[in-house]
Structure 1
Amino acid sequence: MSNRSLGRDIHIYAASDPTGPVLGGLILTNGVTNINLYSMVDIILTISSIYHLQDARRSQLDRDDNPLQPGNYYVVTDGSISINDETCLTRTISLGTGPRTADFRKAVRERDGRCVITGKEALNAHRGMWGGFQAAHIFPLAYLHHWNANNFGSLISIESTDGESINSVQNGMLLRADIHILFDSYEVSINPDDDYKIVCFFTDGDGIAGNHLDQRFRDDPRRPVDDLLRWHFRQAVLANVRSVGEPIFEVDFPPGSDMIGEILSGPKAGERMQYELFSRLVEVT
């Protein structure tokens, strides 16, 4: 299991208790601005009054698009501060392999033809060869019950052929296989409220942090719904920035390994087993 807080160069504290428990933090990557930090604080904390952030020199951090600098930041307010206890949905790699996702995969491939985050083209797609590319659900199929209970289907205007709104092309993107892993584990996300900026929460080895989704994708009327991208980005902030962050789970289980045993001996065993169970059930129900 990996530690999301290891190597952080941004740390967030309450100004009233500057040596107290860390409220949050992040690993700084390209493209993160001052106002981006404010937007993340708005997600991870509940603050009862007007606030601002100040740096270690007690200078107020402006809400602007200047690049965020490494360091400690302090929440200054006359109100109360508490860490948002909103649930972050446990998620690992989700690959739809059953017949219920076949049409979803086909629709996403036909629309995108490339990894929408890196821009890499699927050069052999015309031969029916899609190796290295995967159709990713933005909102995971394993949480179909959560999707239905919270009426996310009302966001969808292009229905899927199986009648499940969660399998609409508007809930999917074609991603390079390795980027799909990062997206599913909330290590990479897209902020639709910042000109569709790609945000990396860990060291960026692909030069994608701070880039924006290309105009061709954004102009497509079949593209993903902004509210679903917004949901994923919020989950990514909760997973990576709040407190010490959520655990990152092991996903490499070679044949013959004790997958269930490793899950049950690790953190959030109940939530993860539930996720794994739902991942399989949605393919056969």
Structure 2
Amino acid sequence: MDSSPRVTAPIGQDRLAHGALPRGSMRRDVFIYTSDDSDNLIGGLWVSEGITNANLYSMVEIFCIFSDTFGLHYPNGKLVERDQNPLQPGDYFLATNGSITVTDELPLLRMIALQPGSRSKSFRDAVRERDRRCILTGRKVPYDWTTFEATHIFPLAYEGHWNELKCDRWLTLPPATESDGSINSPQNGILLGLDEHILFKALAVSINPDDNYKIVCFSPATLPYKLAGRYLDRQFLEDFARLMRFCAGIFGRQCFSM
């Protein structure tokens, strides 16, 4: 990689605390560096089925800001093509003629404990009636709702961010009860099995709206559910009353996070 000119920004220890974790943490097997210096680690992930080289480029563009074009390289200096080949475990190095800035923007964590106040009954009932199955696995509701959970796509705990971004301007179905707030529109909801709900809240599983709504997994804890690399059902997506159609434009960074 010596022939690939680049200027890299120094990464402080506070960045390590917020995301660029030491090798081996969270069972990651892909590690991203801003140079061929293995001390300059800025991020990584656990590779699951369905994650491609192109997906890695997209992830890097979420948490890095570039002043010029960039490329990812293998340790031997070979360019990683931005293609649909499966991402392989290993080390990857950023190369650019410009500067690299690691964003200080932190993700909105989907923490159940942060849910303010009571959940909206009308939201729950509308999502249940519409989906009637876990949208990740396709498992149908058998007799009752005991093992299913109506889940917010944009976390309910961050209603302030929702309002600040004026996300309600994309809604076509307001909540049944206006006082519940627009964040409780059923278009901001999906029905999940309880296990899938927990994994979604923990950011162990996500949906990539920029890759045909592919299901992406970030933890080995998802392996028993065989979710990785699947796509949301087309019938689900084509119904205007279902998944928010603007997810790719506004929520991509929250639906698809490292």
Q: TM class, shorter-chain normalised?
A: 0.7 to 0.9
One-letter amino acid of the counterpart of residue 169, structure 2: S
Flag structure 1 segments of 5+ consecutive residues without an equivalent. Answer: 241-285
Cα drift, residue 113 of structure 1:
0.5
In structure 2, the partner of 1:182 is 199
- Contact map agreement 2:150 2:190 (CA 8 A) in 1: yes
Q: Which of residues 87, 91, 100 in structure 1 aligns to 2:110? A: 91
Q: Compared with structure 1, are the counterparts of its residues 34 and 208 closer, same or farther at alpha carbon in structure 2 (3 Å cutoff)?
A: same
Matches within 5 A, 1:199-278: 199-203=216-220, 204-228=223-247, 233-235=252-254, 238=257, 240=258
- In structure 1, C-alpha distance between the alignment counterparts of 2:50 and 2:174, rounded to whole Å: 35
Q: State yes or no: 1:104 paired with 2:119.
A: no
Q: C-alpha offsets along residues 134-160 of structure 1, whole Å, 9 cap, x if unaligned?
A: 000111222222211221111211111
Q: C-alpha offsets along residues 206-225 of structure 1, whole Å, 9 cap, x if unaligned?
A: 11100000122112111121
In structure 1, the partner of 2:185 is 168
Matches within 5 A, 1:48-67: 48-67=67-86
- Contact map agreement 1:189 1:232 (CA 8 A) in 2: no
Q: Compared with structure 1, are the counterparts of its residues 122 and 214 closer, same or farther at alpha carbon in structure 2 (3 Å cutoff)?
A: same
Q: State yes or no: 1:150 paired with 2:169.
A: no
Cα drift, residue 82 of structure 1:
1.7
Q: Compared with structure 1, are the counterparts of its residues 180 and 97 closer, same or farther at alpha carbon in structure 2 (3 Å cutoff)?
A: farther
Q: Compared with structure 1, are the counterparts of its residues 155 and 236 closer, same or farther at alpha carbon in structure 2 (3 Å cutoff)?
A: closer
Q: C-alpha offsets along residues 240-274 of structure 1, whole Å, 9 cap, x if unaligned?
A: 3xxxxxxxxxxxxxxxxxxxxxxxxxxxxxxxxxx
Q: State yes or no: 1:139 paired with 2:139.
A: no
- In structure 1, C-alpha distance between the alignment counterparts of 2:253 and 2:213, rounded to whole Å: 14
Q: C-alpha offsets along residues 8-40 of structure 1, whole Å, 9 cap, x if unaligned?
A: 11000113x522321111000000001000000
One-letter amino acid of the counterpart of residue 9, structure 1: D
TM-score by length of 2: 0.83
- In structure 1, C-alpha distance between the alignment counterparts of 2:112 and 2:209, rounded to whole Å: 23
TM-score by length of 1: 0.76
Q: Which of residues 33, 37, 40 in structure 2 aligns to 1:13? A: 33
In structure 2, the partner of 1:265 is none
The higher relative CO (CA closer than 8 Å, separation ≥ 6) is in 1
- In structure 1, C-alpha distance between the alignment counterparts of 2:235 and 2:172, rounded to whole Å: 20
- In structure 2, C-alpha distance between the alignment counterparts of 1:156 and 1:97, rounded to whole Å: 23
- Contact map agreement 1:187 1:236 (CA 8 A) in 2: no
- In structure 2, C-alpha distance between the alignment counterparts of 1:60 and 1:6, rounded to whole Å: 27
Query: Pairwise CA RMSD of aligned residues?
Result: 2.1
- In structure 1, C-alpha distance between the alignment counterparts of 2:197 and 2:33, rounded to whole Å: 33
- Contact map agreement 2:207 2:256 (CA 8 A) in 1: no
Flag structure 2 segments of 5+ consecutive residues without an equivalent. Answer: 1-20
- In structure 2, C-alpha distance between the alignment counterparts of 1:168 and 1:79, rounded to whole Å: 43
Q: Which moved more, 1:155-164 or 1:191-200?
A: 155-164
Q: C-alpha offsets along residues 59-109 of structure 1, whole Å, 9 cap, x if unaligned?
A: 1011110101111001010111121111322331267994x6111111101
1:173 is paired with a residue whose SS is strand
- In structure 1, C-alpha distance between the alignment counterparts of 2:120 and 2:247, rounded to whole Å: 18
